[in-house]
Chain A
Amino acid sequence: MTAAPPRPASARRPLLIDGVWKLAAAIATPVLPEDYLDFVAPLRAGADLRGRIVAKRLETADSATLTIKPGRSWRGHVPGQYIRIGIDIDGVRHWRAYSLTSVVGDGTISITTKAIPDGIVSNHLVREAQPGTLVMLDQAIGEFVLPTPLPAKILFLTAGSGITPVMGMLRNLPTGVGPDITLLHSAPTPADVMFAGELGALAAGGRIRLVTRHTDTAGMLDLATLDDEVPDWRERQVWVCGPTGLLDAAEAHWAGHGLADALHVERFRPTIIEPGEGGEITFLGSEVTIDADGATPILDAGEDAGLLLKSGCRMGICFGCVVTMRQGAVRDLRTGEITVAEPGDELPIQTCINAVAGSCDLEA
């Protein structure tokens, strides 16, 4: 790029806005001007990214599509990417990642959620969430996208709600003659197939070849028999999304045939947090990992290892020892309550009354 010509007018304006903003901040201190603006214009440009649920549609008995109008800070997405949504349930904010299923560029985005047993967030979204609700959003991320130009032959291998990022891709295919696409999708019964009508229409229109496997009757897909379902699978670029078992099997299968490069995998939960008793504490700041039992406060365990940690009352009342847990699980020694942070969560916890429950990574 050559040097940009001087643009005095536009150079002055941000400066002016900057000045006004600084003045507003000085007037509003100790809060920020945005703390006031958030009440009246939570979706304005420059605000923390939020969205408002504008519509909800049931897809199956236990899944629903939520249409969300994102705030003006939304930077758009590439089909196949996902977003993290923060929603308040019983007063507590929960963050979860969901694939975007919407058509790009119409001003709204949509996610499709399947209610999983004991899933606080998915059940809330499917059964409780109402249009009008404000949710927190992160910008879209994810590498599970189609390249440009599109490959000539594609296999989408999906199961359950793993169809969602693929649906996002299918809805955004260019019109006209597209690539040769096979979608091999597994779901327990016909009633469990999300987007069944839309997928059927795509197949009827010749856009995709659709192979649906109803696993309650036909059994789980065995990749060893993939030749029967998709004879030319070796020639196809593959995008796979579904339960961990399917992903692991696919990775082994394609690697076993020397075709690992053709495989693109979406893993939403790279680690499953299973609370246990005692375990490993990783202090990310000091790069120290220690083993501790389930009866020792993290603070004491850390200090025993020679670390200097924030501390206070040592009985859970002063909140002077709070640090951020990146992932893991801890147990409150007073009440037995377990706090779990999924990867991507950043949960503040008190180290003086919590013991490690399995493992935890702390910013300390």
Chain B
Amino acid sequence: MTLAPERTSSPARTSISPTAPHVSEPTHLEAERHTLNTRLSVGGGAEREHLPKKSGRPNPFGRLTNAEIEGIGRELDAIRAEVMDSRGARDAAYIRRVIKVQRGLEIGSRVVLLFSRNKVAWAAGTVGLSLAKILENMEIGHNVLHGQWDWMRDPKIHSTTWDWDMASPAKQWKHSHNELHHTYTNVLGRDNDLGYGLLRVDEDQEWQLFHLGQPIWHLINAMFFEYGIAAYDLELRGNLQNWNELSDKDKEVFKANLHEMLGKIRKQALKDYVLHPLVSGPSFLPTLAANFTANVVRNVWSNTVIICGHFPDGIDTFETDSIDGETRGEWYLRQMLGSGNISGSKFTHIMTGNLSHQIEHHLFPDMPSNRYAEISPKIQALMAKHDLHYVTGPVLKQAYQVYRKVCRLSLPNEEPGRSRWSVVRGELAKVVRGKGEARTKRHLPSTV
């Protein structure tokens, strides 16, 4: 289920003068007057009590005072302003060059694949197409859809017009990713990216029997990640499980989204699995195999990059109610503590769509991706100054940590006086005894 972004209240802002619509009576105004989102600007907020999380782990906000947090916020606003004010021709040339290289690589690889009966052509074309699809999704699609290039005012490279080479329609992905994931990053129960509703990646997430299989689910999800994201954007599992509780309007929205998504998937599949193979004539099957391989390579790579962004060791999660009335400074802090980077070469950074600078990206999602590297030292220094852990590491190390965690958390947390396996046995026994009841209860998403 989607939770509407809440309107938080801030005593400091209640004095703003009301707006005066011509169309309604003035009395209406007083009733409707509200306070602004506290995440809009730094300042305000108050010292608050930071309760430990359910698992007993400390609340990450508790390490700093309110004044320190807002100070960090001001420094980050200044870093943002410096880069955003200096966006210019160099940046515009960068994204246009990447798009040009990507289109060239894609069309070149597709042409080579016309002759993919030849093994060398197959290998070269498949590698080229995989790289092209990765570039298209990561450094171009993801970042354009974040509005990173909207400032150029070029309608061809704009978050409102772009669509990308993957199963999920841009509009639906922008909602689940830009809005929900980036606003509620790593907030338990509000950020569905924490395991995509499929994996348990944090001790504070409720364990279900279903998670026993997650070392396998994770690998399957990686291979077919684009469809996983599509299902996730639709909130497929939650919506189907709670179908009878949905309002008629929610059902309509779901059906419309599903229709849009199936249309997109059909077009995508037609292209990669019918038309390009047909055009290849005698190379029909090798081209089909090449396209399938390229999609899987892209899926596995993008999944790997993305799990390294929030699931490796040392990254914090946050309790649902810990963000009530959250200030801009606290939001910034949560982004820093809730994200992790990937270290590597310039090539690595580009192929990850600069999500290797996940921390910088989460602080400033609309900053052009080519600028993250230059602010990275400043962010590291700022975090070091406040004794905050800047999580980073080579991609394989980070991905291994995640997989280790996925395996570990496939079992429930230890409970006092009970081993993890005995909790599992207990749950299994419950399912065997009173099948239906236990399952429906356990499967209700914790967000609802």
The answer to whether B37 and A291 touch across the interface, beta carbons within 8 angstroms, is no
Measured between alpha carbons, how far is A322 from B155 in the docked complex, in Å?
13
* B28 to chain A: closest residue by CB: A306
State the CA gap A348–B28 with chains docked (Å). 30
Report the bound CA distance from A81 to B81 in whole Å. 41
Distance in Å: Cβ of B41 to nearest Cβ of chain A: 6
Smallest CB separation, A326 vs chain B (Å): 14
Stretch at the interface among B58-66, B268-276, B404-412: B268-276
Contact with B along A269-294 (1 / 0, CB 8 A): 00000000000000000001111110
User: Does B22 lie within 8 Å of A291, measured CB to CB?
Assistant: yes
> Residues of A contacting B270 with CB < 8 Å?
26, 29
Question: In the complex, are the beta carbons of A317 and B366 less than 8 A apart?
Answer: yes
Question: CB distance A93 to B152 under 8 Å?
Answer: yes
List the A side residues contacting B331 at CB < 8 Å.
315
B275 touches A26 (CB 8 A): yes
- Interface pair B89/A90, CB less than 8 Å apart: yes
B159→A319 contact, CB < 8 A:
yes
Q: Is the CB of B16 within 8 A of A312?
A: no
Q: What residues of A have a CB within 8 angstroms of the CB of B91 in the complex?
A: 91
* Known contacts A36-B103, A347-B153, A315 near B183 by CB under 8 Å: yes
User: Are A300 and B178 in contact, with the CB atoms below 8 A?
Assistant: no
Nearest-neighbour CB distance to chain B for A306, whole angstroms, equals 6
Other than the given A27-B276, A291-B20, A293-B17, 19 more pairs (CB < 8 A) read A27-B271, A27-B279, A29-B271, A94-B153, A288-B23, A290-B22, A304-B19, A306-B23, A306-B32, A312-B5, A314-B37, A315-B40, A315-B183, A318-B178, A318-B179, A319-B150, A319-B159, A334-B41, A335-B84
| Complex contacts, A334 vs chain B, CB 8 Å | 40-41, 77
**Within 8 Å of chain B (Cβ to Cβ): is A320?**
yes
Q: Is the CB of A319 within 8 A of B22?
A: no
B142 contacts the other chain (CB 8 A): no
Flag if A304 contacts B152 (CB, 8 Å): no
Show 26 residue pairs from A and B whose CB-CB distance is below 8 angstroms, ordered by the A residue. A27-B271, A29-B268, A29-B271, A30-B267, A35-B103, A39-B103, A90-B88, A91-B89, A91-B93, A289-B23, A290-B22, A293-B16, A295-B36, A300-B19, A304-B19, A306-B28, A314-B37, A314-B40, A315-B328, A319-B147, A319-B160, A319-B366, A334-B41, A348-B150, A352-B37, A353-B40
B-side contacts of A94, CB under 8 Å? 153
- Residues of B near A335 (CB, < 8 A) are 81, 84
Interface residues in B, total, Cβ within 8 A: 67
Are B36 and A296 interface neighbours, CB within 8 A? yes
Of B90, B91, B150, chain A has the most CB atoms within 10 Å of the CB of: B150
Structural contact, A318 and B21, CB atoms closer than 8 A: no
Residues of chain B at the chain A interface (Cβ within 8 Å): 5, 7, 16-24, 28-29, 32-34, 36-37, 39-41, 77, 81, 84, 87-93, 100, 103-104, 107, 146-147, 150-154, 156, 158-160, 163-165, 174-175, 178-179, 182-183, 264, 267-268, 270-271, 275-276, 279, 328, 331, 365-366
Nearest chain B residue, comparing its CB with the CB of A295:
B16
Closest CB of chain A to B429's CB: distance in Å?
Answer: 44
A291–B19 contact, CB under 8 A? yes
Verify A91–B88 contact, CB threshold 8 A: yes
Q: For A300, what are the chain B residues with a Cβ–Cβ distance below 8 Å?
A: 19, 34, 36
Cβ A305 vs Cβ B88 within 8 A:
no
A199 to B191, CA, bound (A): 70
Contact B22 A313 (CB under 8 A): no
Contacts of B84 in A (CB 8 A): 335
Known contacts A35-B103, A312-B175; A319/B146 CB under 8 A: yes
Judge whether B32 and A304 touch: CB under 8 Å: yes
A313 touches B178 (CB 8 A): yes
Asked if A36 and B107 make an inter-chain contact with CB atoms under 8 angstroms apart, the answer reads yes
Contacts of A301 in B (CB 8 A): 19
* Chain B residues within an 8 Å CB radius of A318: 174, 178-179, 182-183, 365
Q: Is the CB of A304 within 8 A of B328?
A: no
Contacts A290-B20, A313-B178, A318-B178 given: A30-B165 contact, CB under 8 Å? yes
B20 to chain A, nearest CB (A): 4
**Residues of A close to B33: CB separation below 8 A:** 304
Interface centre among A296, A315, A335 (most CB of B within 10 A): A315
A contact set with B: CB distance below 8 Å: 23, 26-31, 35-36, 39, 88-94, 288-293, 295-297, 300-301, 303-306, 311-320, 322, 333-335, 347-348, 352-353
Contacts of A91 in B (CB 8 A): 87-93, 151-152
Q: Which of B34, B146, B178, B271 contacts A304 (CB 8 A)?
A: B34
Task: Name the contact of B160 in the complex, choosing from A23, A313, A348 (C-beta under 8 A).
Answer: A348
CB <8 Å contact, B156 and A35: yes
Docked pose: A39 CA to B158 CA in angstroms:
18
Measured between beta carbons, the chain B residues less than 8 angstroms from A296 are 16, 19, 36
Nearest chain B CB to A337's CB is how many angstroms away?
Answer: 8
Which 7 A-B residue pairs are closest in the complex by CB-CB distance? A91-B92, A305-B21, A319-B147, A318-B178, A318-B179, A290-B21, A312-B179
User: A314 and B5 in contact (CB under 8 A), knowing A23-B275, A93-B153, A334-B77?
Assistant: yes
Q: How far is it, in angstroms, between the C-alpha of A39 and the C-alpha of B36 when the chains are bound?
A: 45
Evaluate whether A92 and B178 lie within 8 angstroms (CB atoms) in the complex, with A289-B22, A290-B22 already known. no
Closest CB of chain B to A86's CB: distance in Å? 9
Among A289, A297, A314, chain B packs the most CB atoms within 10 A around the CB of A314
B226 smallest CB distance to A (angstroms): 12
Residues from chain A with Cβ under 8 Å of B92 in the complex: 88, 91-92
Q: Are B165 and A291 in contact (CB under 8 A)?
A: no
Chain B nearest Cβ from A321, distance in angstroms: 10
Which of chain B's residues has its CB closest to A349's CB? B150
* Cross-chain contact B174 with A315 (CB below 8 angstroms): no
Give bound CA distance, A353 to B36, whole Å. Answer: 10
- Tell me the minimal C-beta distance from A259 to chain B in angstroms: 40
**CB <8 Å contact, B88 and A26:** no
Please give, as numbers and ranges, the residues of chain A lying within 8 Å of B103 by CB-CB distance.
Answer: 31, 35-36, 39
- Chain B neighbourhood of A39, CB < 8 A: 100, 103-104
Cα–Cα, bound, A296→B21 (Å): 13
Bound together, the chains give a CA A320 to CA B183 distance in angstroms of: 12
Cβ contacts under 8 Å, A291 to chain B: 19-22
A29 to B267 alpha-carbon distance, docked (Å):
7
Measured CB to CB, the closest approach of chain B to A49, in angstroms, equals 13
Instruction: Determine whether the beta carbon of A319 is less than 8 Å from that of B21.
Output: no
Inter-chain contact B183/A304, CB cutoff 8 Å:
no
The minimal Cβ–Cβ distance linking A60 to chain B, given in whole angstroms, is: 27
Q: Verify B182–A317 contact, CB threshold 8 A.
A: yes
Is A317 in contact with B178, judged by CB distance below 8 angstroms?
Answer: yes
> CA separation between A131 and B21, bound complex, in Å?
50
| Contacting residues, chain B, for A289 (C-beta < 8 A) | 22-23
Give A317 to B276 CA distance when docked, in angstroms: 38
Task: Note all chain B residues with C-beta closer than 8 A to A29.
Answer: 267-268, 270-271
Contact A316 B267 (CB under 8 A): no
The complex places the Cα of A28 from the Cα of B91 at a distance, in Å, of 26
Q: Inside 8 A of B366's CB, which chain A residues have their CB?
A: 316-317, 319
Contact of B24 among A28, A295, A306, A313 (CB under 8 A): A306
Q: In the bound complex, what is the Cα–Cα distance between A307 and B380 (angstroms)? A: 43
